[in-house]
């Protein structure tokens, strides 16, 4: 036993030495004190390659838009001349330098500053605005090299579940790409002008402040919408963003370029709110009164009898399309070239009758 003790002590000493010296040896032998060799990645997946190519093709046509409260000072710098009133995103529409953005980004400004993807800062003038659609067009003074306009798709054949891609400048971070799917279609979005945009696209692609006015693209890189709003108590993306459908954009923008404004088709009535109609159990548009001298007045439409409070005419169809609320009526009117006419089906004292009414610009 006494003879085995030194051996055990020796073994113990060796074990302790190994435990103590192993980290030192590992540090000396295996420390990566020079750059490590780069391992080949291999090819991108088809999905990744498609996304990369889409962004590389579309991003040069996307710009940052900064509106100012006044037109004093220079626009050669985004931090000079006037106070910023709104910032957002825009994208090139044509070879003449027209840029589409949101009306709420431009606000009341007459001139804006544009920052391009390659860092150019340009002065731009406001060509036209359509608050009913939350769309605006500005034109840049000059480009060193004009990028291509984004190809235009259609919003008529979109499907829930399709992949979508949003490019913009959220929180001032330029050239940001977010991806997602179409979450829903045919949403309605109120505008600051008191009307509603129909057939709005809902997406879970992250839309944040600064994305407004930027393009929503499909997987082919085609424009299918203009990002305009988010639904979020915190003001940041909660997975519910909205885009104006491109079919509306493709109708409104050329009119803004031609004339600077878009007619507001109407027949000249003051309609009761939907809440009042619902409260009295009426499905349709209750006419409070026709505006004197308007097409509605000339057609003999009747409003509410103020003395008795009796309901007059209720519009229940337009051109044989059912009307359940005011947005149904304005949807049809906005698709009619002004001046034009429509056939209204009205309910008067319980009886249906048809009346032909002119459609004029009431804007």
Say which range, 57-66, 148-157, 264-273, 339-348, has the weakest mean pLDDT: 264-273
| The pLDDT value given to residue 160 | 96
Q: Give the whole-number percent of the chain exceeding pLDDT 70.
A: 89
Per residue in 156-173, pLDDT (tens digit) is: 999 999 999 999 988 877
Task: Give catalytic status of residue 104 as yes or no.
Answer: yes
DSSP string, 125-157: EEEEEETTTTEEEEEES--SSPPPPPPB--STT
Residue 181 lies in a domain: yes
| The pLDDT value given to residue 85 | 61
Give the CA angle between residues 144, 167, 65 to the nearest 5°: 55
Per residue in 111-166, pLDDT (tens digit) is: 899 998 888 888 899 999 998 899 999 998 777 778 899 999 999 999 999 999 99
Distance of CA 290 to the CA centre of its chain: 35
Residue 172 lies in a domain: yes
CATH number of domain containing 200: 2.40.10.10
Nearest-10 Cα torsion for 213, 219, 59, 206:
50
Give the CA angle between residues 63, 67, 71 to the nearest 5°: 130
Task: Provide the 3-class DSSP secondary structure of residue 99.
Answer: strand
Among 155, 183, 212, 237, the active-site one is 212
- Band of residue 269 on the pLDDT scale cut at 50, 70, 90: confident
Euclidean distance between CA atoms 230 and 189, whole angstroms: 11
Domain residue limits at 171: 163-259
Task: Give catalytic status of residue 212 as yes or no.
Answer: yes
| The pLDDT value given to residue 164 | 96
State whether 342 and 280 are in the same domain. yes
HSE of 264 in the Cβ direction (CA atoms, 13 Å)?
13
State whether 175 and 114 are in the same domain. no
Q: Where are the alpha helices (DSSP H) in the chain?
A: 4-30, 46-58, 103-106, 246-259, 274-279, 295-298, 326-334
Among 103, 134, 174, 328, the active-site one is 134
Residue 30 lies in a domain: no
Among 98, 103, 104, 218, the active-site one is 104
Per residue in 73-104, pLDDT (tens digit) is: 444 334 444 445 678 999 999 989 999 999 99
How many domains in the chain?
3
CATH number of domain containing 280: 2.30.42.10
**pTM (predicted TM-score):** 0.76
| The pLDDT value given to residue 180 | 94
């Amino acid at each position: 036993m006494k003879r085995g003790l030194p051996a055990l002590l020796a073994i113990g000493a060796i074990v302790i030495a190994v435990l103590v010296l192993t980290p030192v040896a590992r540090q000396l032998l295996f420390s990566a004190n020079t750059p490590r060799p780069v391992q080949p990645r291999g090819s991108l997946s088809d999905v990744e390659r498609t996304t990369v190519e889409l962004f590389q093709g579309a991003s040069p046509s996307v710009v940052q838009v900064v509106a100012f409260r006044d037109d004093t000072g220079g626009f050669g710098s985004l931090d000079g001349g006037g106070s910023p009133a709104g910032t957002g995103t825009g994208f090139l529409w044509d070879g003449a330098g027209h840029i589409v953005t949101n009306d709420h980004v431009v606000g009341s400004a007459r001139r804006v500053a544009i920052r391009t993807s390659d860092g150019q800062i340009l002065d731009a003038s406001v060509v036209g605005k359509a608050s009913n659609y939350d769309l605006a067009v500005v034109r840049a003074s000059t480009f060193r090299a004009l990028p291509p306009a984004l190809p235009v798709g259609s919003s008529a054949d979109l499907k829930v579940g399709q992949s979508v891609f949003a490019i913009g400048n959220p929180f001032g971070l330029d050239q940001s790409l977010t991806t997602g799917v179409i979450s829903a279609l045919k949403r309605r979005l109120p505008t600051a002008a008191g009307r509603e945009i129909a057939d709005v696209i809902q997406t879970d692609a992250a839309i944040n402040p600064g994305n407004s006015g930027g393009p929503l693209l499909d997987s082919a890189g085609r424009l299918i919408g203009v990002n305009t709003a988010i639904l979020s108590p915190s003001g940041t993306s909660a997975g519910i963003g909205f885009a104006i459908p491109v079919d509306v954009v493709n109708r409104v923008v050329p009119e803004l370029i031609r004339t600077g404004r878009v007619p507001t088709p109407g027949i000249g009535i003051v309609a009761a709110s939907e809440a009042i109609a619902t409260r009295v159990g009426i499905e349709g548009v209750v006419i409070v009164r026709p505006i004197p001298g308007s097409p509605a007045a000339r057609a003999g439409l009747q409003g509410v009898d103020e003395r008795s409070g009796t309901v007059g005419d209720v519009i229940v169809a337009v051109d044989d399309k059912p009307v359940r609320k005011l947005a149904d009526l304005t949807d049809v009117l906005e698709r009619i070239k002004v001046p034009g006419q429509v056939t209204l089906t009205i309910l008067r004292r319980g009886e249906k009758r048809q009346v032909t009414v002119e459609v004029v610009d009431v804007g």
